[in-house]
Amino acid sequence: MAQPASAQSLSLDDVISLSKTGIGDDAIIAKIRSSDTHIDLSVDQMVDLKTKGVSGPVIAALLAEKKPAEVKLSVDSPDPAVPHPAGVYLMDSAASKMMRIDPVVTNQAKTGGLLGYAFTAGIASMSVKASIQNPTARTHASEARPSFYFFFDESNPSVTSNTAAWASGTAATVTSPSEFTLVQLMAKKDRREARVGSVNIAGAKTGVMDKDQLKFDYKLVRPGVYLVQPMADLPKGEYGFMYSLTGGGAGGAITARIFDFSI
């Protein structure tokens, strides 16, 4: 099939022929810009074109760099090869689309086991919990082992506004799912909680307890894009991918950003 005229590159002979017809510089320049034409002309070629009737503006148009195509981002395409804004997405297989998860940030701390800690003079641990608003997540997964796609800044190198999704409070940004912890959140009446610290007579621990961490696996799909899946089915409940931000929250709780979802 014939290639569309707008996609054809112009040769120097084409440019010379058009110039000889007297069609005008504006038309020739418009054709150069609409086609995939950019030629790194030598001095001799420029002189030769001028002697054959090609004007200076047309020669300049041949030398002009083509502007890179604008990157169009999708927020719901199920294809990980399609550029998406940086962030975490839940794959909705039934609807054949991705759902972007808006993260929540918590730095409010609550304590649990305070009486046991007091009665045993610190032998029993007092837990520190990070509190998250709302009793359930806005994003719901219909599968017990859902699939997620993590889009990092590297996936869209030409987009300069990516880092807002991954700003960690320092000059560094998050670049891999290995920097996350998958946790089950404890549902309360008007909130959800995650244990992010403990205190006893032996000292204090900050971070998600080992027994509260859920294992997940991930693989690189393309630069900056990872497929992430839990390694076991998840029972109905509230969950979240969490990573710690710079600085500590109240009462020793870490300040964390959580990409929350429910099953």
Residue 23 lies in a domain: yes
Taking only the tens place, the pLDDT of each residue in 236-251 is 999 999 887 554 444 4
94, 44: one domain: no
Task: Name the 3-class secondary structure at 11.
Answer: coil
86 or 204, higher pLDDT: 86
Task: Name the 3-class secondary structure at 158.
Answer: coil
State which residues form the domain around 40: 5-63
Weakest mean pLDDT among 29-43, 159-173, 208-222, 226-240: 159-173
What pLDDT does 193 receive? 81
The pLDDT confidence band at residue 172, using thresholds 50, 70 and 90, is low
158, 241: one domain: yes
Weakest mean pLDDT among 133-137, 138-142, 170-174, 198-202: 198-202
When divided into structural domains, the chain yields a total of 2
Taking only the tens place, the pLDDT of each residue in 179-197 is 898 989 888 888 888 776 5
Residue 18 lies in a domain: yes
73-82, 114-123, 168-177 — most confident range? 73-82
Residue 68 lies in a domain: no
Residue 79 lies in a domain: no
> What does the alpha-carbon distance between residue 252 and residue 200 come to, in Å, rounded to a whole number?
13
Q: Which amino acid is at 149?
A: Y
Q: Which tokens belong to 91?
A: 């794959």
122, 195: one domain: yes
Weakest mean pLDDT among 9-23, 196-210, 248-262: 196-210
57, 91: one domain: no
Integer angstrom CA distances of residue 78 from 64, 114, 149: 37, 47, 10
The pLDDT confidence band at residue 121, using thresholds 50, 70 and 90, is very low
92, 48: one domain: no
Integer angstrom CA distances of residue 182 from 45, 96, 110, 260: 62, 24, 20, 10
Residue 226 lies in a domain: yes
> What does the alpha-carbon distance between residue 212 and residue 210 come to, in Å, rounded to a whole number?
5
177 or 162, higher pLDDT: 177
44, 161: one domain: no
107, 224: one domain: yes
144, 47: one domain: no
What pLDDT does 8 receive? 67
Q: Beta partners for 173?
A: 167
* Torsion sign (Cα): 241, 138, 263, 113: positive
Question: The pTM is what?
Answer: 0.64
Residue 80 lies in a domain: no
pLDDT at 215 over 70: yes
103 or 211, higher pLDDT: 103
Pairing of strands 97-101, 87-92: antiparallel
> Are the C-beta atoms of residues 185 and 192 closer than 8 Å to each other?
yes
Residue 120 lies in a domain: yes
